[in-house]
Amino acid sequence: MKKESVELEQWTKVKRLHGLTDAQVQMARELRMNPKRLLARADAEQALTQPSLAVQIESQYLRRFKRSLPDTVVPLRQALHEARARERAEARERRRRKRQAERDHLEAMRVSMLTLRRMYGGVGATEDPQRLTDDDLRP
């Protein structure tokens, strides 16, 4: 898992531990709160001396954004699903680009070998670079 999905899983734990709604979790995320700190805050001593997390989030959100709720609330489960799908797509794209780079490199090697053979009149001076095999490129 990547950073985004790991963080969303931490938010899931915070939501469960503190009894927050999806809207409150989204507000906390928009306020750039740290889920690790909120998980650590679950100690009984701190919970007794501080107001509830939900009240703090709502008051900070109102103070900063001048509204009581986000315009659209994306459920945490949906956000996690989308993040994982995005990470899988990015991984597929990285693998595709790597394979393409390897193919491009091999093609460049084939063309270079053919060019050298033609320059020095060696064996295969009239060969097509597409027909060269890996064995032809080994010294």
pLDDT tens digits along 23-43: 999 999 999 999 998 888 766
In whole angstroms, what is the distance from residue 12 CA to residue 8 CA?
6
- 94 vs 6, residue with greater confidence: 94
In whole angstroms, what is the distance from residue 94 CA to residue 91 CA?
5
Query: What pLDDT, on the 0 to 100 scale, is given for residue 50?
Result: 62
Rounded to two decimals, the pTM is: 0.62
